Amino acid sequence: MKKILMTLLASAAALAAGASLAQSQGVSKDEILVGSIQDLSGPLAAFGKAVRQGMLLRAEEVNEREAPELYGIVRRLSQRAGLPMPRVYTIPEEAPNAFATGRDPNHGAVAVTHGLVRLLDRNELAGVIAHELAHIKNRDTLVMTVAATLAGAIGMLASAYSRVNAMPKRSPRNLR
């Protein structure tokens, strides 16, 4: 929730800066509103997609009693890597896949599909999980979130700037 709030605040700040710049160049409030809606449509669509994907995946957190072999592999590898134990999830999906998330090692999570667990032997599964733990250790999710947020903010500012510069300059003389 904190990430979402920070992203929304950064987007609002970028929009406010763009609106202020546009207004100083004589752009009407209606044009600013339309531009702001256009700028927000991309991030809102991406957020909606992420929420839908999370709901569609139906990941279920498991403990050592429910998935002893999987949980044991994750525990052994995370200890070996010097990481805190991440949360472990399974996804009721037959396509073999694995995911890792978490802004830092203390908030890490690993998810594997049922298809991956069925398809791979213990050593292969350990290799996949080791790869996912490397994403957590290297803070890949945090890096990608920051990069995507910066790219989005730059895109919004560039869009607002291009709209302002595309508008004819207005002065009191040509308003007649």
Contact 108, 86 (CB under 8 A): yes
Instruction: Report the predicted TM-score, pTM, of the whole model to 2 decimal places.
Output: 0.60
Query: What's the whole-number mean pLDDT along residues 124-134?
Result: 95
**The predicted structure's pLDDT at residue 118:** 96
Distance CA 105, CA 83 (A): 6
**Residue boundaries of the structural domains of the chain:** 1-56+159-168, 58-137
Which is catalytic among the residues 31, 64, 69, 132?
Answer: 132
Catalytic site includes residue 60 = no
**The predicted structure's pLDDT at residue 76:** 97
Q: What pLDDT, in 10s, does the model give residues 1-58? A: 566 667 667 777 776 777 777 677 676 666 666 566 666 666 655 555 455 445 446 7
CATH topology of domain 58-137: Zincin-like (3.30.2010)
